[in-house]
Amino acid sequence: MLGKYLDNVRAKSPLIHNITNYVTVNDCANILLACGASPIMSDDCGEVEEITSICGGLNINIGTLNKETIPAMLLAGKKANELGHPIILDPVGAGASALRTETAKRLLDELKFTVIRGNISEIKTLAVGSGSTKGVDANVADAVTEDTLEGVVAFAKEFSKATGTVIAITGATDIVADANRAFVITNGHPVMARITGSGCMLTAMTAAYITANSDNVLEATAAAVCAMGLCGEKAYDTTAKNHAGNSSFRNYLIDEIYRLDESELDKGARYTIV
């Protein structure tokens, strides 16, 4: 059961250092507060090592790269590695431009990540250099379907084995894998793709889950993914009931994360382990 990993986040309230993109930074801060953690945002080279030293975990998101943030990511990541803190990488848009692809690969080469979370196209780009991203979204050609599921699970396990990192591939069907096991998760709702930041928020929240549950990274990551998907379903129900739109959905999603408890997560999480 996965609810206990949420309880640990609320009990420990980990402080998470976020170097994330400015499109979704406010949503990432709010989702961390909603799940029971605490956020701090810092991307200046003059302070990132100091900031990450006082935090429990580090979230690196490459959604809006520039010449200042790339060295800050490396400095913070190396300090987090030195301290043994969990780090999550969100390779937003890897495959869409040379800068994003090269930066994501450099980060992977120079830092030891605990979790990598992205869509299938971004993860394929990191692993084999051939994902076909559509901007920051997965390309339909890479979609995880019933026919491709077994192959994607095998791919995720192999990439985990090669990197020593838990791999979270999120989309209509989510796969969270280490070298030996994979959670295949079916929580979620299509309207989650109609707001900016659902993936970024999930990455930030996953950073909190793995920081509060560092001895059970695979299960904690799966719990975070299930929680986000389940709350997306609940938020859609409220959106539909109120005849509201995608902006309201985003707020309802954060509300549902705030209200979620252990028993609801255990009851509502839909997954199989393969």
Nearest-CA neighbor of 70 among 98, 43, 101, 97? 43
Could you read off the pLDDT of 235-259 as tens digits, one per residue? 999 999 999 999 999 999 999 999 9
What amino acid occupies position 55? C
Rounded to an integer, what distance in angstroms lies between the CA atom of residue 266 and that of residue 268? 6
Instruction: Supply the pLDDT for residue 133.
Output: 53
> Which pLDDT tens digit goes with each residue over 88-105?
999 999 999 999 999 999
In the chain, the DSSP E strands lie at 15-19, 38-41, 57-61, 87-90, 115-118, 166-169, 174-177, 182-185, 271-273
Intervals of the chain under pLDDT 70: 130-142
pLDDT at 140: 47
* pTM of this structure: 0.93
Task: For each of the domains in the chain, give its residue range(s) and CATH number, in order of start.
Answer: 3-273 (3.40.1190.20)
Interatomic CA distance for residues 152 and 222, integer angstroms: 16
Q: Which pLDDT score, from 0 to 100, does residue 147 have?
A: 82
Percent of the chain with pLDDT over 70: 95
Q: Identify the pLDDT of residue 148.
A: 87
Res 142: pLDDT: 62
The pLDDT of residue 136: 47
Tell me what pLDDT residue 130 has. 55
* Residue that the structure tokens 């930074």 belong to: 25
pLDDT at 206: 98
